[in-house]
Structure 1
Amino acid sequence: MSLTSRVATRDDVELLNGLVELAIAELLKGFLNDDQIRSSKAIMGLDTQLIDDGTYFVIESDGEPAGCGGWSRRATLYGGDHSATRDSALLDPAKDPAKVRAMYTHPGFTRRGVGRMILGLCERAAAAEGFTRLELMATLAGEPLYRSYGFAEVERVEDARGGAPVPIVRMRKDIVTS
């Protein structure tokens, strides 16, 4: 299996929303109960600001979508277009961490390097713009990947805006340049 990446466009939105929905529904099983998974759909999702900023990637395997994710130079830490807490203020690379955002893997492509590929793309792109740290909000399903990539826990919180409280983990890492 070979993976390729490309920058997402607005033409990808319908495809990406389907991938996001499937990933949330399937990959959070075993970590969250049904009410929490429904709640997750209300607090997570695709943020098209990342697409408009040119910082969102689609990962494909033989032309099939295997995953998506990106990074942001804006203040929003997590949430989709429907989230009321989005903040488009630009970050200062000298003092703020770039945000890794909206990472989702198609259930048929888990543990095949999709997430690591996205993280590498994000880290290199953020470093090229002068950022020295990354920050993200991890689901319990994503936490092991982020830890293995060098992210460390900052805090554990719950987000109940979607109904049932969903446990999530704020994580950070220093950008490694080679």
Structure 2
Amino acid sequence: MSNPPASSPAPRLRLARPEDMPTLSALMGRAIAELLPAFLPPEGVRASFEVMGLDTQLIADGTYFVVEAGEAIAGCGGWSRRATLFGGDHSAGRDAALLDPKVDAARVRAMYTHPDHTRKGVGRLILDACEAAARAEGFTRVEMAATMGGVPLYRACGYHEIEPFEAETSTGYRVPLIRMGKGL
């Protein structure tokens, strides 16, 4: 009689730390390169690196989470009280102005799941934490710029489409995104 397979450790949620940044950047690169080809042509995947990536302001603000599975980071994502809707430190059009929770929607930002950990509840765990934290700061709504790869998860978690739009890149490729939102 053989032993049953060892169960995976329960995922643990924690705030991201500055020392996580190299691991997070690598995870984001793998997620873009390996998960977006199901939704975008090769030139779209390449262009996505220009408009996506690590936003260190989220880590500094204490609003960026990681999910650990054992010793590995299985995913990351966060929320923001700042006006920037999407993009990494290198992206154009960033705006660090603080949002007013009475009138503005908090931003869900930079959601990535390691390709080895998709469909395991990592994204839902992060979304729940983001929504709870934004709610605790008085926000009644959240919005995001969803990639085509993220739309199915966000719809399943109660987000609705506000408007599709495109992020233009230096190559001329326009990365399709959808502004999505949810009441808290």
Q: TM-score, normalised by structure 1?
A: 0.97
Cα deviation per residue 1:37-75 (whole Å; 9 max; x = unaligned)? 010000111100000000000101012110000000000
Residue ranges of structure 2 left out of the alignment (5+ in a row): 1-7
- Whole-Å separation in 1 of the counterparts to 2:176 and 2:79: 22
> Following TM superposition, by how much is the alpha carbon of 1:29 offset from its aligned partner in structure 2, in angstroms?
1.0
Tell whether 2:180 aligns with 1:171: yes
Tell whether 2:70 aligns with 1:62: yes
For residue 3 of structure 2, what is the aligned residue in structure 1?
A: none
Residue ranges of structure 1 left out of the alignment (5+ in a row): none
Cα deviation per residue 1:69-124 (whole Å; 9 max; x = unaligned)? 00000000000000121100000000000000000000000000000000000000
SS of match in other structure, 1:67:
strand
**Identity, % of aligned pairs?**
57
For 1:151, which of 143, 154, 159 is the aligned residue?
A: 159
Task: Report 1:12-31 matches (<5 A).
Answer: 12-31=20-39
Q: TM-score, normalised by structure 2?
A: 0.94
- Whole-Å separation in 2 of the counterparts to 1:142 and 1:98: 18
- Whole-Å separation in 2 of the counterparts to 1:56 and 1:88: 15
> Following TM superposition, by how much is the alpha carbon of 1:162 offset from its aligned partner in structure 2, in angstroms?
4.2
- Whole-Å separation in 2 of the counterparts to 1:160 and 1:32: 14
SS of match in other structure, 1:120:
helix
> Following TM superposition, by how much is the alpha carbon of 1:160 offset from its aligned partner in structure 2, in angstroms?
1.7
Aligned length, in residue pairs: 175
For residue 5 of structure 2, what is the aligned residue in structure 1?
A: none
Q: For the Cα contact (< 8 Å) 1:43–1:162, is it kept in 2?
A: no
SS of match in other structure, 2:181:
strand
> Following TM superposition, by how much is the alpha carbon of 1:159 offset from its aligned partner in structure 2, in angstroms?
1.3
For 2:88, which of 80, 86, 95 is the aligned residue?
A: 80
Q: For the Cα contact (< 8 Å) 1:67–1:114, is it kept in 2?
A: yes
Task: Report 1:16-165 matches (<5 A).
Answer: 16-163=24-171, 164-165=173-174
In our comparison, the structure showing a higher alpha carbon Rg is 2
Q: For the Cα contact (< 8 Å) 1:41–1:162, is it kept in 2?
A: no
Bigger shift: residues 159-168 or 18-27: 159-168
Structure 2: which amino acid aligns with 1:165?
A: R
- Whole-Å separation in 1 of the counterparts to 2:45 and 2:130: 26
- Whole-Å separation in 2 of the counterparts to 1:124 and 1:63: 25
- Whole-Å separation in 2 of the counterparts to 1:21 and 1:97: 28
